[in-house]
Amino acid sequence: MRRPRPSLCGLALAASVLAATGNATAQEEPDVTEAGLARGEMFYQAHCGRCHGMLGHGGEGPSLARPTLPRAPDHESLVRVIRRGIPGTGMPGTRANLVSDLEVDLMAAYVRTLARDAVVEVPGDAARGQEVFATAGDCYSCHVVEGRGTGIGPELTGIGLRRGVDYLYASLRTPDSELPVSRRGILRGFRGYLPIRAVTREGRVITGMRVNEDAFTIQLRSISGRTVSLRKEDLVELEKQFDHSLMPAVEEMTEADIDDLVAFLADLGEGS
């Protein structure tokens, strides 16, 4: 079996930020100096803070301030995730001509220190939040959690591992403000939940999530869960609402209800 290439070798700058590691194996944590961690924090804030939060407590991306990262339980695997990204998600890789191996190593070393931070406390009660999710929030009518619900909006199973607490609060209070975006516009994953407003020649207004589209037709899934296929030549208006979410704001809920709901969502996936 070919041994993995140590990513800290052969770099002239490494001596100033890495302490001697002796005969450390690939699975052991590298011994990084305080200066190295400071540089890792700087690289993290430049490349990762926008999605994961400047303190690593999450946002559009998951919180990294946790004892174990599900996809990166050790330094080596975390370096691999930072370098290659996670296909099918909003986590991009880093191009070697823009981010050096040393910088990736220092970012990974810094992220590993975030586990020492106190876990963000959510004031709500998760058990009561599950009741709010099912009753006052009526969230199962659009979302699936562990096989229960209707898949009109994104599945929320494991959402606590994918989104931070602040993002969850903002998504509930002002859904339009927290649409997932990237430097290239709307992320591919959000395109599957693109809100559409169509008006037929007869004046019928149809709204829903886009399911599929080609040059001649478009298919929508309405809030009731029904799939509708429309011919574009029969429409007088077709609006793609990239800056809009069909999810209603929780204006009717009390602050206690919102806290409980966030506590429930933040817990989803924590036991996996």
What pLDDT sits at residue 148? 92
In a domain, 8, yes or no: no
Q: Say if residue 145's pLDDT is above 90.
A: yes
Cα dihedral 56/267/187/225 (nearest 10): -170
Residues 263 and 152 in one domain: yes
What is the phi/psi pair of residue 253, to 5°? -90, 150
In a domain, 5, yes or no: no
| Rounded Cα gap, residues 206 and 204, in angstroms | 6
Q: Say if residue 11's pLDDT is above 50.
A: no
| Rounded Cα gap, residues 128 and 74, in angstroms | 35
Structural domain range at position 105: 14-116
Residues 251 and 235 in one domain: no
In a domain, 4, yes or no: no
Please state at what angle helix 101-113 crosses helix 34-47, rounded to 10 degrees: 100
Compute CA 79 distance to the chain's CA centroid, rounded to the nearest angstrom: 19
Residues 93 and 38 in one domain: yes
Residues 110 and 217 in one domain: no
Within 10 angstroms of residue 267's Cβ, the number of other Cβ atoms is: 17
Q: Say if residue 150's pLDDT is above 80.
A: yes
User: Out of 2-11, 52-61, 69-78, 171-180, which region has the weakest mean confidence (pLDDT)?
Assistant: 2-11
Residues 102 and 68 in one domain: yes
Per DSSP (E only), the strands in 115-234 are 144-145, 148-149, 181-182, 185-186, 195-200, 205-213, 217-221, 227-231
What pLDDT sits at residue 215? 93
What pLDDT sits at residue 272? 45
In a domain, 1, yes or no: no
Q: Say if residue 144's pLDDT is above 60.
A: yes
Write down which residue in 98, 116, 134 finishes a domain. 116
Region 49-75: mean pLDDT is 85
Q: Say if residue 3's pLDDT is above 50.
A: no
In the chain, % of residues over pLDDT 70: 81
Most trustworthy range by pLDDT among 6-15, 181-190, 225-234: 225-234
CATH classification at residue 111 = 1.10.760.10
CATH classification at residue 207 = 2.30.30.100
In a domain, 190, yes or no: no
Reading the block at residue 104, the tokens are 């990736």
CA-to-CA separations, 108 to 21, 74, 129, 200, 201, in angstroms, rounded: 17, 9, 34, 53, 56
pLDDT grade, residue 192 (50/70/90)? low
In a domain, 231, yes or no: yes
| Rounded Cα gap, residues 69 and 31, in angstroms | 20
Residues 22 and 104 in one domain: yes
Compute CA 23 distance to the chain's CA centroid, rounded to the nearest angstrom: 37
In a domain, 6, yes or no: no
Residues 81 and 137 in one domain: no
Residues 151 and 214 in one domain: no
Residues 233 and 251 in one domain: no
pLDDT grade, residue 101 (50/70/90)? very high
Residues 133 and 207 in one domain: no
Residues 93 and 51 in one domain: yes
Reading the block at residue 142, the tokens are 């659009």
| Rounded Cα gap, residues 70 and 58, in angstroms | 15
Domain count, the chain: 3
Write down which residue in 62, 85, 116 finishes a domain. 116
Residues 112 and 94 in one domain: yes
Compute CA 144 distance to the chain's CA centroid, rounded to the nearest angstrom: 17
Residues 6 or more apart whose CB falls under 8 angstroms from that of 60 comprise 50, 51, 90, 163, 164, 167, 178, 180
Write down which residue in 75, 95, 116 finishes a domain. 116
